[in-house]
Chain A
Amino acid sequence: MSQDVSTEAVLEAVEPEAAQEAGVAKKKLGWGFWLAVGWIVLIVLLAIFAPWLPLKDPNENFIDIQGKGRPPYGPSADHWLGSDQDARDMLSRTIYGARVSLVVGFSAVAFGFIVGGTVGLVSGFVRGIFDKITSFIMLVLLSFPALILAILITSLMERSLWTIALTLGILSVAPVGRLARAASLVFAEREFVLAARTMGAKPSHIMLRELLPNVLIPMSALALLGTAIAIVAEGGLAFLGLSVEKGSTWGKLILTGANSRQLEEAPWIAFVPIAALFLTVMALNFAGDRLRDYFDVRELAL
């Protein structure tokens, strides 16, 4: 409303709720952010130190027909989160499952960021044929329905932790690359880069010292979100039976519990890993979202 400027100013001073409603980012991270980070740290620590924690063996079958009848056993003093249908302890399985899920998630993102980030950064700066080719490749990769591509690749190789991580990493190269390229394009036009160029700086130097720190900011805010997506993707693959062959991940645990019979008798088998997955993903999403608001990253052609 344009007329009465000072009325507007008064009204704005008077209606900060309206500004908040409009989703204007408060420049604060907030207690929710730290709560989310706390959870993530907790899970990571539990995963790292799992072997040293007083947990039962995740693969051992604690069958106790006399005492407790046939498995699955519900939550009790013996099994804090219950056991699955083969009497394996849910608590330790979930924590050990975190190890693989998290590792896959983090390394996929790391791979994607390093490769995609570099390619994007360079394309945005160098432009020309290189840019055209890489952009086309990324577009092709993006046009592939992601899950199908993942299944395609994993089905054709041995399914170890690293190949799964690699697959997911390859999948994340395209979106990350596109973001990095967009950011790089924006910054490459800025004056400080032009200044560096005119001073005769070598292109590699420019990319490393001038562009990278700036591009890194929007990318890092997205790293958390990307990890969440990667973890979910692994879960999806596991659910289809296509994740790592050895060891357990949250997705596989959910699969174990996700048939009618188990759900009927012992829903915790599925719901414990679901809860762990959900909380972790939500924490990552929330923290990533807050970071994005904080750094005020606009959707650079995402």
Chain B
Amino acid sequence: MNSPKTTGVLLDVNEYSVGFRTERGLAQVVDKVSFQLERGSTLGIVGESGSGKSVLNRSLMGLISSNRQVEEGSALFDGEELVGRDRQNFWGNRIGMIFQDPMTSLNPVMRIGRQLFEPLRQHLAMNKEQATERAVELLTQVGIPEPKRRLRQYPHELSGGMRQRVMIAIALAGEPELLIADEPTTALDVTVQKYILDLLGELQTDIGMAIILITHDLGVARGRTDDIMEMYGGRVMELSPSEELFSDMSHPYTQALFSAIPRVDQPKHTRLTPISGAPPDPIEPPSGCRFSPRCVYAQDDCTTTLPELRGSDEHQFACFYPVGTDASMQARSTNTTRGHTATGLKIQTAGTS
């Protein structure tokens, strides 16, 4: 393994798009997404189902094997262009990936040890003794008790949390520079979630690995990521350092997401505020801003023009009426007065947040 660089940009994604040819037309599932990931840092990618976050990552990694995929744009990994090439050589030793459901992501008929040995033997050319030693180390590192015993066990003999740890261990075994964690805690109990997320954070500090944390839950991303990128309808809505996102949110979508999180400090029986509407159709998306049909601030220009990312280098957002500005408040009152937004979304005049 080459001596790890500890600073600099590891992943540089520029106007990256992924579409699928279907009978109805081209489904643009990821639309001109750009971001940079520094070595050793964590990027949280947040979005609902259908936002394109999973496709983005699987596609970057090259795991999507459909003939109908159309990939455009550029993605430089450590200076090497990923788009347009066979990425199999990156798998496991330069980029690792862990998935949502640890029960189905581990081979049920194969012992844990063997599943761990594979990347060790393949990427690090270890023999049996070395691999066993390293496997035990890895399992200890992810916090699994009695690691030697676990090596001989099967996935179904472990609890959900432990399986997820094993999966992390396997992903780490190849010593990748980047770990993509696709909803790693969604299938786990809340108590276990915290441990896993803590673990990821620790590992990152210890190893200096970059992490992309994909989740639909803003709460999960908060505090555990250096930057957060929000996606909606295949496009980036807001991209900013984590804390700034919460203290200085700009995009209406962020605001809506934030309001939708149930909070412990609210009085009991407070109504949750969901975001009404449904994700856009990737084949025939709404003209203009993708979020406009569900946005309480939507004005006419939101429906005609697609907002590009604007703002500072650090904190970008794609909206004409960013939250907290005069323009935004103006837009809001216009909508409240007339009772609906430019896209026809009804605004309730009483009890709005």
Contact = CB atoms under 8 A, between A and B. Distances in A.
Q: Do A and B have CB atoms closer than 8 angstroms in the complex?
A: yes
Interface of A: 2-7, 10-11, 13-15
A11 B100 contact: no
Contacts, number: 48
Contacts of A5: 49-50
Interface string B20-56: 1111100101000000000000000000011111110
Interface in B234-285: 279, 282
A3 B100 CA distance: 7
Given A3-B54, A4-B50, A4-B53, 9 more contacts: A2-B100, A2-B101, A3-B182, A6-B49, A10-B20, A10-B282, A11-B20, A13-B27, A15-B66
Contacts of B101: 2
Contacts of B64: 11
Contacts of A3: 49, 54, 100, 182-183, 186
Chain A facing B: main interface SS? helix
B68 interface: yes
Contacts of A11: 20, 64, 66
Nearest to A5: B49
Given A3-B54, A4-B54, A14 B49 contact: no
A14 B282 contact: no
Interface of B: 20-24, 27, 29, 49-55, 64, 66, 68, 100-101, 104, 182-183, 186, 279, 282
B23 A13 contact: yes
Contacts of B49: 3-7
Contacts of A7: 29, 49-50, 52, 54-55
B182 A14 contact: no
Contacts of B100: 2-3
Contacts of B27: 10, 13-14
Contacts of B29: 7, 10
A37 B49 CA distance: 48
Contacts of B55: 4, 7, 10
B29 to A, nearest CB: 6
27 contacts: A2-B101, A3-B49, A3-B100, A3-B182, A3-B183, A3-B186, A4-B50, A4-B51, A4-B54, A5-B49, A6-B279, A6-B282, A7-B29, A7-B49, A7-B52, A7-B54, A7-B55, A10-B22, A10-B27, A10-B29, A11-B20, A13-B22, A13-B27, A14-B27, A14-B66, A14-B68, A15-B66
B142 to A, nearest CB: 22
A302 to B, nearest CB: 26
Contacts of B24: 13
A13 to B, nearest CB: 5
From B53, B55, B183, residue with most partner A Cβ within 10 Å = B55
Contact of B68 (A2, A4, A6, A15): A15
A35 B55 CA distance: 44
A15 B53 CA distance: 20
A4 B27 CA distance: 15
B24 to A, nearest CB: 8
Contacts of B50: 4-7
B17 to A, nearest CB: 14
Nearest to B278: A6
A10 B182 CA distance: 18
A10 B104 CA distance: 22
Given A5-B50, A7-B29, A7-B52, A14 B186 contact: no
Nearest to A16: B23
Contacts of B54: 3-4, 7
Contacts of A13: 22-24, 27
A41 to B, nearest CB: 37
Nearest to A9: B50
A245 to B, nearest CB: 56
Nearest to A14: B20
Nearest to B216: A3
Contacts of A4: 49-51, 53-55
A2 B182 CA distance: 11
Nearest to A6: B50
From A3, A4, A13, A15, residue with most partner B Cβ within 10 Å = A4
B101 to A, nearest CB: 6
A13 B24 CA distance: 9
Contacts of A10: 20, 22, 27, 29, 55, 282
Contacts of A6: 49-50, 279, 282
B351 to A, nearest CB: 31
Contacts of B52: 7
Contacts of B182: 3
A15 B23 CA distance: 10
Nearest 9 interchain pairs by C-beta: A6-B50, A4-B54, A14-B20, A5-B49, A14-B68, A7-B55, A14-B22, A3-B100, A13-B22
